[in-house]
A and B are shown apart, each in its own frame.
Chain A
Amino acid sequence: MAHAGWRSIHGVLTLNFEGLTQERGELSTGAYGEGYVDRRHPHAYVHELLAGVEDSIGKQHLSLYAGRGFAPFGSDDPMTRPFEKYPVNHHLAQILERVLVVGAARVGPLIGEFGVFNGDEPLSPGSPPKYSRFADSWSSRLTLLPARFVEIAASVARVKSPEVPDGHGLDQDKWDFYTRYDRRTSDSRVYGLAEWAHTSEHATGVLTTSLSSWLGEAAVCKRDVIAGARLEVADRPEEEPLTDPFRTPRPPSDLSNLGVSRWTTLTGALSAPRLLKSWFSARPFVEVARIHVAPGDPPGLFDANLRYGTSWMWMYSVGVRLKVGAIHDRMGRYGAAVVPETGTGTRSNGSHDMPGMPGMSMPGHSTNAVCTL
């Protein structure tokens, strides 16, 4: 990840090598998307590559970014949240890795964003977007900052045929509403997120699937120990797996699915203090999730007992989060849409000089402050 800026011109680059390190995806019961099921898909090598201009006119801060990245929709990318496992609602609550143009304006406590992008989602980490489909989809997000540490956002999106790159697949109407609390001090952090997300899939005006999710997650950090909990209820569209039970056909062979399943997941997470060495850090973590899957609406053919042998499952995750240099504290906002991080001194773009790179700035991220991931 790198940010660069010169005067009012800025650039964002995030490379992601999950396509090499976890080609088969990351085991994550209930996860789905981009042809993976019960595994989180690897992200595109070029996760973000954008250039933009920012300026202030009076009390308005304006920006216009173009490139590949996140459409202005929903909540932060789960990669930058205090849990290692992604929630089931990843594809309900974020729209990522699209070629987009996004404009943002901030006036006082209000941030407005609008973006146009290609609807097709990546077929693989290395696959290029369908440039011919640029601007066939759009999204918009309105964010209110009513008090210190608090933000409230509502988003809407119309996404054309995300799963069929040539178009003519199911289109999606998406909504997201979240409230976020994030209070940081020099040695502590209190974080919370409550989110509702909904996606309606339809073709030629016919509604085929309604997918909803409720998610609440919270984390507290003290002395660099992070404890968190997440409760999520999310719908998942079921597709027929391939011979590999963790993969589904992309594109699917028609517009139907096998029904909808409803996933209720309660996760507890604990991270030990980081082992720090200059720009390197290692943070051990453990996560335990209790998972229940039930028929959704419509249930279709999906039967958890046939698929898994049970409808109640445990998921354990133990690992070490390794970090070299700086990472995003948040991901999915650009320019004027970046929310100032009260408590740490981080401001919008241009707030940090990148160490060793005079004149370069690092927006929206932190280095090795206590309680960062």
Chain B
Amino acid sequence: MHRRLSALLVAAAASLCACGSDSHVVNPPDTTTGSNEPLTSAACPGVNFGVRPTSAVPASTAAALQVLGLGGETARYSAEVAAHGTTAYTTTWGTRSAVGNKIDIWDVTGSTPTLVDSVIVTGASTLGDVAVSDDGKLLVVATERSGGSIVVFDLADPRHPRQLSRFTNQDTDPGVHTAEIGRVNGKLYGFLSIDPVGSIHARLVIVDLSDPSNPQQVYSKVAGNPYVHDTFVRDGLLFVALWDDGMEIWDVGGCGNGATPAAPRVLGNVHTIGGQVHNIWWYHDASGGKRFAFVGQEGPGSVGSSSVGDIHVVDISDPTAPKEVAFYHVDGAGTHNFTVDEANGVLYAAYYNGGVRAIDVRGDLKTCLPSQQNFNSSANTTRCDLRVMGRELGVGLVELNRGVYVWGVQYLAGTIYASDMVNGIWKLKAAK
């Protein structure tokens, strides 16, 4: 399924503690030195990956994330969440007592999200991904299985979206699994991950949304093995989740080498351990570092009951040769979509039956003590274990003992919004 992006980038500087210790084992060896920082890559001179984090982050003990309120949805299964300002949008999925063709619109001003309106998307048997553009003007929803499409809404009145257009063609069948939106050199694009069907392979489609009333396809390519599940676009780089083909980094205009969304160029690929690459977040830390991407692995599970899959940390400081350096694992649950409070360096992950997890991602994530390392023999790789490093800051919703299955999360101004397939939308207080 997917991930969520949206919003809120950096504002404040984080208080990173520069107290690294040489006694810590570095693995794999860092490729940077003081003489080549801030780091750029010859393959992508347009992107500055920032200085190497040198801080040591004190270990934390996970605390319960405070639940502020629940906006209930029990007629349909809730799917992804996107929030902007004082409004949140949740899609619905599958069939419960009603078909998952509705977008719920929530007033999230108070502690308890209040349903203020809804939109039925016609011609859809299920929805999935939802995204709000960075300027808050557009809402984009992906539809699956009864003719794949994206539906673009005008948010001039955020509580009452107005449909502007619907983009569908033969490349979007049988369904748009995720639709990520982002700007490349100032122009808004949609990045659509298309389901496979029969012997027809999965596909990535890129759509120019600069005229949201008239989206135009600019690129289409078979991708993924067997799925392409999601993308993440930022600074002209596109990160593509190719399932068992790993994570690929594409230049779509950020490197300054002539690539565009219509003519992307592959920079590099990494096969994270276990494959099943589902979603990605390229993390920009508060001090300007851009060296790590977080990769969500979606293993097999039973929706509503069980899940598996880790968060993998990939060092992308050399985008032509990204390397997995760390991971986060939860026994008995698997990750789904992410959001990151980049100012405070906290990643929030939807963890299905494991609720919401808050992880401290400040500092150098690939440096840890030997006791905090984990060797994977099949991949012949040693990685830092974020849990053993004491990076788990908080756990949300699990303590309620009412059965949750969290699809998506979004951080917004000190608050976490979590879409729970079985209960609706939760509002929680952020860990920091």
Q: State the A residues within 8 Å of B (CB).
A: 123-124, 127, 164-170, 201-204, 206, 208-209, 240-243, 249-251, 253-260, 298-301, 306
B60 within 8 A of A: no
Mask: chain B, 137-171; 1 = CB below 8 Å from A; 0 = not: 00000001110000000000000000000000000
**Minimum Cβ distance to chain B for residue A99 (Å):** 16
Q: State the B residues within 8 Å of A (CB).
A: 1, 77, 94-97, 125-126, 144-146, 174-175, 177, 195-199, 201, 225-227, 229, 243-244, 274-276, 278, 298-308, 421-422
> Using a Cβ cutoff of 8 Å, how many contacts connect chains A and B?
114
**A298–B306 touching, CB < 8 Å:** yes
**A249–B226 touching, CB < 8 Å:** no
**B126–A206 touching, CB < 8 Å:** no
**A300–B199 touching, CB < 8 Å:** no
**A300–B146 touching, CB < 8 Å:** no
**B302–A240 touching, CB < 8 Å:** no
**B125–A242 touching, CB < 8 Å:** yes
**Minimum Cβ distance to chain B for residue A106 (Å):** 39
Tell whether A254 pairs with B305 under 8 Å between CB atoms, given A127-B199, A166-B201, A204-B275. no
**A123–B300 touching, CB < 8 Å:** no
**A249–B145 touching, CB < 8 Å:** yes
**B274–A204 touching, CB < 8 Å:** yes
CA distance A255 to B144 in the complex (A): 17
- Within 8 Å by CB of B276, from A202, A204, A249, A257, lies A204
**A299–B125 touching, CB < 8 Å:** no
CA distance A241 to B225 in the complex (A): 23
CA distance A169 to B226 in the complex (A): 8
- Within 8 Å by CB of B94, from A124, A169, A240, lies A240
**A167–B125 touching, CB < 8 Å:** no
**A209–B227 touching, CB < 8 Å:** no
CA distance A124 to B198 in the complex (A): 9
CA distance A255 to B195 in the complex (A): 13
Which 5 A-B pairs rank lowest in CB-CB distance, beginning with the nearest? A208-B300, A298-B305, A255-B300, A301-B304, A300-B302
Which residue from chain A places its CB closest to the CB of B128 in the assembled complex?
A253
- Within 8 Å by CB of A306, from B97, B303, B304, lies B97
**B303–A300 touching, CB < 8 Å:** yes
**B199–A123 touching, CB < 8 Å:** yes
CA distance A170 to B244 in the complex (A): 12
**Minimum Cβ distance to chain B for residue A203 (Å):** 5
Point out the residues of chain B lying under 8 angstroms from A257, CB to CB: 302-303
**Minimum Cβ distance to chain A for residue B161 (Å):** 24
Q: Which of B95, B201, B300, B422 has most chain A Cβ within 10 Å?
A: B300
**B226–A168 touching, CB < 8 Å:** yes
**A253–B199 touching, CB < 8 Å:** no
CA distance A254 to B228 in the complex (A): 10
**A249–B300 touching, CB < 8 Å:** no
**B302–A127 touching, CB < 8 Å:** no
**Minimum Cβ distance to chain B for residue A373 (Å):** 33
Tell whether A301 pairs with B303 under 8 Å between CB atoms, given A166-B201, A168-B244, A249-B174. yes
Point out the residues of chain B lying under 8 angstroms from A127, CB to CB: 198-199
**A168–B275 touching, CB < 8 Å:** yes
**Minimum Cβ distance to chain B for residue A318 (Å):** 31
**Minimum Cβ distance to chain A for residue B340 (Å):** 23
**A254–B304 touching, CB < 8 Å:** no
- Within 8 Å by CB of B195, from A169, A202, A249, lies A249
Using A243-B125, A255-B299 as known contacts, list a sample of 9 further A-B pairs with CB atoms less than 8 Å apart, ordered by residue number in A: A123-B198, A123-B199, A168-B225, A168-B275, A206-B308, A242-B145, A258-B94, A299-B302, A301-B96
Which residue from chain B places its CB closest to the CB of A302 in the assembled complex?
B304
**Minimum Cβ distance to chain A for residue B126 (Å):** 7
**Minimum Cβ distance to chain A for residue B225 (Å):** 6
CA distance A201 to B301 in the complex (A): 10
Point out the residues of chain A lying under 8 angstroms from B1, CB to CB: 254
**B303–A166 touching, CB < 8 Å:** no
Point out the residues of chain B lying under 8 angstroms from A170, CB to CB: 300
CA distance A53 to B209 in the complex (A): 63
**Minimum Cβ distance to chain B for residue A237 (Å):** 8
Point out the residues of chain B lying under 8 angstroms from A242, CB to CB: 125, 145-146
- Within 8 Å by CB of A203, from B145, B146, B229, B300, lies B300
Point out the residues of chain A lying under 8 angstroms from B97, CB to CB: 306
**Minimum Cβ distance to chain A for residue B324 (Å):** 15
**Minimum Cβ distance to chain B for residue A323 (Å):** 33
CA distance A109 to B196 in the complex (A): 48
Point out the residues of chain A lying under 8 angstroms from B307, CB to CB: 256
Tell whether A166 pairs with B226 under 8 Å between CB atoms, given A253-B144, A256-B302. yes
Q: Which of B196, B199, B302, B304 has most chain A Cβ within 10 Å?
A: B302
**Minimum Cβ distance to chain A for residue B25 (Å):** 27
**A243–B300 touching, CB < 8 Å:** no
CA distance A201 to B306 in the complex (A): 14
